[in-house]
């Protein structure tokens, strides 16, 4: 019976139509309500396959993250050996030399010699992401980047390197052969470099040695953090969760956080609660924004971008000056005159008379604005200048973000 009730509650939260049927069943707790609840699995399937009309909705798990479910950054320092003459120069990289001497001394080898010189060793920085709830013995991927003047890490092997977190504790130990995507080759007169040969990855190259303690099952409250903070989205998320649970357990505390109190029936099983609500769908709201990349000419505009009444004209004036030198020489067999170079200048003026003034009425949509600018024959880079000018005139009701 509990499973049926959960399916029925999920269907009511997913679609307003089934929310109405749920209210009808609650009002008549007789045979009608019993029949509707017995059809709960079918109703849930219909609710998922029949979303509310005109609403583009996203799952909560795709737009938010739950408290405790986060990665932790790790960093370490190590030595890569086995390079084919592409490692650090020990004379210009003293940290590599001291690290190599210290490692050899720990192995019982006295390497304090001024003649120590090898180009098969490179000092590297090792980075990794420690996933949430990673247990001891779990393997994670690591990235390796050259620290000195090594030319390539191709064919190298990373020696045992501890990885530390922000608290200074060792959480993983890395070692293994490096996979490098780039390469570099050179000769006396030419060199070729493809990709970045001084960095690489080691799949499953580190073993987790310390766990980050976090007891999610016993939480009494859970914070849900929106990846794109927004007041409207946070409120809609809280309302959707409350509709599913049937009690006011969730409330938005700020544009990026929803505080959820664990209901009594989920006490000691917070994982089940989060599993149930992460599949709920919420209509995401967003700020009207125009993102511009001036280097590549890319323009991205959200659907809520609006334009107040404004007139736009765009034209180009091109002046082309061509210098063509000509040679003037005397007639054949002439005893007078000299050969001279005579300049010839050609000036052309092109004014684009086909570009006319276009008026965009107030409240036009994104599609209408793009169609209007395209009708003027405006390219992406000219469109960037126009959008910035429209924003300066106060007619663009959106934020402009320049990358």
Tens-place pLDDT, residues 185-240: 666 666 777 778 899 999 999 999 998 888 888 888 999 999 989 999 999 999 99
**Interatomic CA distance for residues 284 and 47, integer angstroms:** 19
Chain segment 87-99, per-residue pLDDT in tens: 888 888 888 888 8
Domain boundaries 56-68+214-284, CATH class = alpha beta
Strands (E), 19-116: 57-59, 64-66, 72-81
Taking every pair of Cα atoms in the chain, the longest distance, rounded to a whole number of angstroms, is 126
Structure letter (DSSP) for residue 264: G
**Interatomic CA distance for residues 99 and 109, integer angstroms:** 13
pTM of this structure: 0.63
The mean pLDDT value for 342-358 works out to 61
Domain boundaries, the chain: 1-52, 56-68+214-284, 72-208, 289-315+354-402
Please determine, for residue 10, whether its predicted confidence score (pLDDT) is greater than 50: yes
| pLDDT top residue among 126 and 149 | 126
Beta strands 317-328 and 340-351, pairing class? antiparallel
Chain segment 298-345, per-residue pLDDT in tens: 788 777 777 777 776 666 555 565 667 777 777 776 667 777 777 776
User: End-to-end CA distance of the chain, in Å?
Assistant: 54
Instruction: Specify the 3-state DSSP secondary structure of 133.
Output: coil
For helices 40-49 and 16-27, give the axis angle rounded to 10 degrees: 160
Look up residue 211 and give its two tokens: 């766990």
**Interatomic CA distance for residues 188 and 394, integer angstroms:** 60
Q: Please tell me the least confidently modeled range out of 15-19, 239-243, 293-297, 347-351.
A: 15-19
**Interatomic CA distance for residues 132 and 215, integer angstroms:** 12
């Amino acid at each position: 019976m509990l499973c049926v009730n959960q399916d029925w509650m999920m269907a009511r939260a997913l679609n307003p139509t089934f929310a109405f049927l749920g209210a009808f069943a609650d009002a008549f707790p007789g045979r009608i309500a019993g029949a509707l609840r017995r059809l709960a699995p079918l109703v849930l399937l219909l609710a998922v396959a029949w979303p509310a009309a005109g609403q583009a909705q996203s799952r909560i798990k795709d737009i938010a993250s739950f408290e405790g479910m986060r990665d932790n950054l790790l960093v370490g320092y190590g030595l890569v050996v086995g390079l084919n003459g592409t490692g650090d120069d020990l004379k210009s990289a003293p940290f590599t030399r001291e690290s190599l001497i210290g490692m050899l001394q720990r192995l019982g080898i006295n390497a304090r010699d001024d003649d120590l010189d090898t180009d098969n060793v490179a000092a590297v920085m090792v980075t990794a992401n420690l996933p949430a709830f990673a247990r001891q013995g779990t393997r994670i991927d690591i990235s390796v980047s050259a620290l000195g003047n090594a030319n390539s890490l191709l064919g190298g092997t990373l020696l045992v390197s501890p990885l530390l977190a922000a608290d200074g504790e060792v959480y993983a130990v890395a070692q293994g052969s490096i996979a490098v995507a780039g390469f570099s080759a050179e000769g006396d007169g030419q060199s070729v470099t493809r990709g970045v040969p001084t960095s690489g990855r080691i799949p499953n190259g580190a073993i987790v040695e310390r766990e980050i303690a976090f007891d999610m099952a016993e939480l009494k409250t859970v914070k849900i953090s929106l990846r794109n903070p927004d007041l409207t989205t946070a409120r809609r998320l809280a309302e959707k969760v409350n509709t599913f649970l049937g009690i006011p357990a969730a409330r938005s505390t700020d544009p990026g956080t929803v505080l959820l109190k664990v209901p009594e029936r989920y006490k000691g099983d917070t994982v089940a609660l989060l599993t149930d609500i992460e599949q709920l769908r919420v209509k995401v709201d967003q700020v009207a924004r125009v993102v511009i990349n001036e280097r590549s000419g890319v323009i991205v505009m959200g659907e809520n971008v609006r334009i107040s009444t404004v007139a736009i004209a765009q034209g180009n004036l091109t002046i082309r000056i061509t210098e063509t030198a000509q040679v003037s020489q005397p007639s054949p067999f002439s005893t007078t005159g000299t050969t001279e170079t005579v300049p010839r200048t050609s000036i052309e003026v092109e004014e684009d008379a086909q570009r006319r003034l276009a008026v965009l009425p107030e409240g036009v949509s994104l599609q209408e604005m793009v169609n209007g600018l395209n009708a003027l024959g405006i390219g992406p880079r000219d469109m960037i200048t126009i959008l910035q000018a429209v924003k300066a005139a106060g007619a663009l009701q959106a934020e402009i973000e320049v990358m």
